[in-house]
A and B are shown apart, each in its own frame.
Chain A
Amino acid sequence: MASTLLSLASATPSASLSFHEINKGKLNLGCINKEKPNPFIKAKSFGRVSMVVASNVSHFEGITMAPPDPILGVSEAFKADDHELKLNLGVGAYRTEELQPYVLDVVKKADKLLLEKGENLEYLPIEGLAAFNKVTAELLFGADNPVIKQQRVATVQGLSGTGSLRLAAALIERYFPGAKVLISSPTWGNHKNIFNDARVPWSEYRYYDPKTVGLDFEGMIADIKAAPEGSFILLHGCAHNPTGIDPTPEQWGVIADVIQEKNHIPFFDIAYQGFASGSLDTDAASVRMFVARGMEVIAAQSYSKNLGLYAERIGAINVVCSSPEAAARVKSQLKRIARPMYSNPPVHGARIVANIVGDSALFKEWNAEMEMMAGRIKNVRHKLFDSLSSKDKSGKDWSFVLKQIGMFSFTGLNKAQCDNMTNKWHVYMTKDGRISLAGLSLAKCEYLADAIIDSYHNVS
């Protein structure tokens, strides 16, 4: 659904403007103002008696349209196109080689088991399913991690990555008023919306270098250093969305150094654990490195991609604290924030994840399926790189396709070139030059290579 697309794929940042900002200077029909006459009430006089009669004007006359979702636009345009070679590279959901959606076998099995068990549908506690919270923290930090053993992690089940990020944002707003969150430029479109709606100020740190189609590491470090002490630095744990560009382990080390030096708090968004490299442990390396240094860390998880549970909305927010008492207090406040939002989280997705991760046979199967999915993406990257290198005689270095990781790839194409991709080649992608390799099959790699080469060289 549209909202699923939005939560999966990166969007051109659309800052949500408040009603006031939009209507500065304009007559505000909505507000009841003592000085101005209320447009909803018309005073009618009947001789000496005046009666007030409500008019038919809606209470919500003054509401303006929210900005349209850029990803949805791409999908809609794709649907409307009936060209036989059309390709949808806007979608942020995994597709098979036949470009069909994929429900993991382990999920089907787990679902069947749940049906057979016939468990009741009672409310979960506010913090979510205990079995789920246990396995999700262990998955991220490692079951033997001291922070788990010492009970220093506050884990609360969240509504996928979005909901988990929102809980953390609300916690920041409440306990660190005025503190800023630094987000990468570019980043997943919904990040800015989440922090805006949670009333948390944010600014950007340099990340993508269009010249190298790689990481602007110096810029990133400089911007993190320049931020006021005690800022929250939002980091993508692996498979950066939308660029696909991840720091190397050495670079992660330097990032951790700077964050420690400036007394910042690292805030990880891990939406692709297992999906990036195919290994759950490898993809958690960055988070684990920070935690191993004794840092206090916030980490939001999502099972949308790696378990294909997009629509079930299952994730978690973890706050690693320096003591179990702090973790208990933080957990209680996360619960306090969640209760007025939705009372308690949904049970179905949590049970599926708990069943899969908690059962060694299913867990093994899951690992295998994840390797398969990540493997397909890697194969597609290779094929695309080979096609580009062999077809393009200009000597341009296309190796960034291989260096980048995860579902997405920043091609380095500008807006005009992206338009050419769509108009001439019927390749649908977002205007920032991002393609979703999940929507690409091996069979179509050569076609895509032709399109990219043409757009890059012949359009400016």
Chain B
Amino acid sequence: MEDEPHHCFSFLPTFLPLHILIYTPNPVLPEHSRTKSAAVFFHILTMIISRFLRRGILTSTSPTRRRSWWDHVTPALKDPINAVTDAFLADPCPYKINLGVGAYRDDKGKPVVLQRVREAEGKIGATNFLESTSTAISSKLVEESAKLIYREDSDVIKERRFIGIPALSGTSACCIFAEFQKRFYPDSTIYFPDPTWSSHRNIWGDAHVPGRTFHYYHPDSKGLNFVALIDDVKNAPDGSFFLLHPCAHNPTGVDPTDEQWREISSLFKVKNHFPFFDVAYQGFASGDVERDAQAIRIFLEDGHSIGCAQSFAKNLGLYGHRVGCLSILYNDKIQAVVIKSQLKQISNTMYGSPPIHSISLVSKILSNPNIKALWLKEVKVMATRIQIMRATLREALERLRSPLNWQHITNQVRMFCFSGLTPAEVDQLAKEFRIYMTHDGRISMAGVTTKNVDYVARAIHEVTASDRDTKILHNIGAYKVNTDICSTSLGTNKTRARGMNLAL
């Protein structure tokens, strides 16, 4: 690669828009235009000087800095959920609390490996996996997953009207479906509830399927905006694709009632929409796997042929093993073979198949009725602890005579709580109280324990009790503070990378 002559002003086109961003007038302070121009001039001067300095340093101490193929690659935005974990990990404070990631913790705040999983792991060991047994194990996983979600005695199972492939947990099940949808409905869109899990947009976006939203969460009631939801479903073009959370909606924890699901289902029938369910929390919402699948059962009763992405990350605690299932219901047997061939083809170019270790674990646990029964008990324990924490947190806030209504903590379902906290309040919690959560105010209840619930309640009360109205005005300022916190506590990659771009 040859060195291109550096032009010292070549960075200006990239730099100029940036300095405008930096110098956006603060809505609270009055404008000082002369000060602003002076600041801009000195900024440019600093850039020029530092550029020459940098060039001088580079040529004197390092080998010729070659142009890289990757110069035009910008740093990716940090994943919002992982960013919370990163900030938490970087914090040296001993009493920090992580209410970000949706992974279950016991009352000591420790991750849990289910007893059944440990036992199953012991049995699997490093077995000889012949290709043929691997196929058999995969089929078993699909069958057991389907039984779990569609119910063992349902027509769908009895008539084997499902086709499925093992997937790398829920994410990849959604991803494969998105690609499948794009392939056979290239002009279609997907409707997400507003809000939805942060990755959904990127999953369908990367498959080039545009995403739209339908009303879901009502910020005033902190419940379901059912009327607007029905309206949106009605107004969507016939035959649209919809992504639905059958239970424990992520991030709000707000679920429709059975009656509401019935109405949604019959409207879907009239409009001939395609329902795709993202099932990440079966068993985790109510503690009962059958109850949590009720929405799907309702749709099946109405004769819908649905699609389902199942994850075993939470309910089997197999987060790191990446195992789930994508299933699609069909009407005739020829279709089954065809659909399966296409799903396999899509997954073959992405990852081949999930690890056999993961598939075996799930297959072993679900296919043995005794082990499965014991597993269901463990799920209930986890779900119950979260229920208790919800109630405890709400009581604690009410005892502190918080002026706000915290009913939604126990109204919403289970792993997450959409607290209603503003981004500024979330930041304050992180900065002052070392409590970390995502900026949308989503609290992972799994991170709350009997030991820390009082502290969490006091902290939330503290940040919400002061005047909320003035805080909303300063939201723009608050967002700037956010990025600063991220840049400093997450390392200097972002700022360094920005510097790199400007040096081109």
User: Closest approach, in angstroms, between the C-beta of B235 and any C-beta of chain A?
Assistant: 15
Report chain A residues within 8 Å CB of B357. 311-312, 346, 348-349
- Identify A339's interface contact among B70, B117, B199, B318, CB under 8 A: B199
B186 lies within 8 A of chain A by Cβ: yes
Q: Which residue of A lies closest to B121 (CB)?
A: A115
Which of A59, A115, A196 has the most chain B CB within a 10 Å cutoff? A59
Contacts of A319 in B (CB 8 A): 70
- A16 CA to B352 CA, complexed, in Å: 16
Which B290-329 residues have a C-beta within 8 angstroms of A?
A: 305, 313, 317-322, 328
Contacts of B175-226 to chain A: CB distance below 8 A: 175, 179, 183-188, 199, 202-203, 205-206
Q: Give the interface size bracket for A toward B.
A: 35 or more
Please state if B76 and A335 are interface contacts (CB–CB under 8 Å): yes
Q: Indicate if B168 sits at the interface (CB-CB under 8 A).
A: yes
Q: Is there contact, CB below 8 Å, between B349 and A166?
A: yes
Contact status of A340 and B238, CB under 8 A, knowing A115-B125, A118-B113, A193-B345: no
| B58-78 residues at the A interface, CB under 8 angstroms | 65-77
Q: Is the CB of B320 within 8 A of A121?
A: yes
* Closest residue on chain A to residue B73 by CB atoms: A329
Indicate whether B96 reaches chain A with its CB closer than 8 angstroms. Answer: no
**C-alpha spacing A323/B66, complex, angstroms:** 9
Q: Is the CB of B356 within 8 A of A312?
A: yes
Other-chain contact of A296, B65, B68, B175, B269 (Cβ < 8 Å)? B68
Query: In the complex, are the beta carbons of B270 and A111 less than 8 A apart?
Result: no
Residue with the greatest number of chain B CB neighbours at <10 A, chosen from A60, A65, A163, A326: A60
A347 at the interface (CB under 8 A from B): yes
Q: A257 on the interface (CB 8 Å rule)?
A: no
B351 to chain A, nearest CB (A): 3
Contacts of A345 in B (CB 8 A): 322
Which of B132, B169, B331 is in CB contact (< 8 Å) with A342?
Answer: B169
- Give A42-70 as 1s and 0s: 1 = Cβ < 8 Å from B's Cβ atoms: 00000000001110101111111111100
Q: Is the CB of B320 within 8 A of A347?
A: yes
Asked whether A162 and B239 contact (CB < 8 A) given A342-B168, A342-B169, A344-B322, the answer is: no
Contact present for B341 and A311 (CB under 8 Å): no
| A107 interface hit (Cβ, 8 Å) | yes
Q: Which residues of A contact B112 (CB under 8 A)?
A: 120
In the complex, which of the residues B75, B76, B355, B496 has the most CB atoms of chain A within 10 Å of its own CB atom? B355
A72 to B500, CA, bound (A): 49
Any B CB within 8 A of the CB of A30: yes
Which of chain B's residues 317-361 have a Cβ closer than 8 Å to chain A? 317-322, 328, 330-332, 335, 337-339, 341-342, 344-358
Of the candidates B137, B330, B356, the one having the most CB atoms from chain A within 10 angstroms of its own CB is B356
A166-B272 Cα distance, complex, nearest whole Å: 35
**How far is the CB of B342 from the nearest CB of chain A, in Å?**
5
Which residues in chain B, 102-157, are within 8 Å of chain A measured between CB atoms?
103, 111-113, 117-118, 121-122, 125-132, 134-135, 137-138
B497, CB-defined interface residue at 8 Å: yes
A210: Cβ under 8 A from any B Cβ: no
In Å, the complex CA distance between A311 and B321 comes to 13
CB closest chain-A residue, reference B497: A329
Q: Within the complex, what minimum Cβ distance (angstroms) separates A350 from chain B?
A: 9
CB atoms of A341 and B355 under 8 A apart: no
Q: Min CB distance, A176 to chain B, in Å?
A: 8
Q: For residue A163, which residues in chain B have a CB less than 8 angstroms away from its CB?
A: 350-352
Distance of A321 Cα from B175 Cα, bound (Å): 29
> Distance (Å) between the CB of B86 and the closest chain A CB?
9
Task: Bits for A68-109, please: 1 = Cβ < 8 Å to B, else 0.
Answer: 100000010000000000000001010000001101000110
Q: Does A194 contact B (CB under 8 A)?
A: yes
Let me know if B31 is at the binding interface, CB within 8 A: no
Contact with A along B153-175 (1 / 0, CB 8 A): 00000000000000011011001
CA distance A75 to B134 in the complex (A): 14
Q: How far is the CB of A306 from chain B (nearest CB, A)?
A: 16
- CB interface residues, B 80-97, toward A, < 8 Å: 82
Given known A126-B82, A159-B350, contact A340–B184 (CB-CB < 8 A): no
Find out whether the CB atom of B344 lies under 8 angstroms from the CB atom of A66: yes
- Bound-state CA distance A194–B130 (Å) is 25
Is the Cβ of A313 less than 8 Å from the Cβ of B351?
yes
A5 surroundings in chain B (CB, below 8 A): 131
Q: Determine whether the beta carbon of A32 is less than 8 Å from that of B331.
A: no
A395–B134 alpha-carbon span in the complex (Å): 45
| Listed A/B pairs (22) with beta-carbon separation below 8 Å | A4-B131, A19-B186, A32-B188, A38-B238, A40-B272, A52-B270, A58-B305, A58-B331, A59-B239, A60-B328, A65-B341, A66-B345, A75-B131, A111-B125, A121-B321, A125-B82, A126-B82, A166-B349, A322-B65, A323-B500, A341-B172, A346-B168
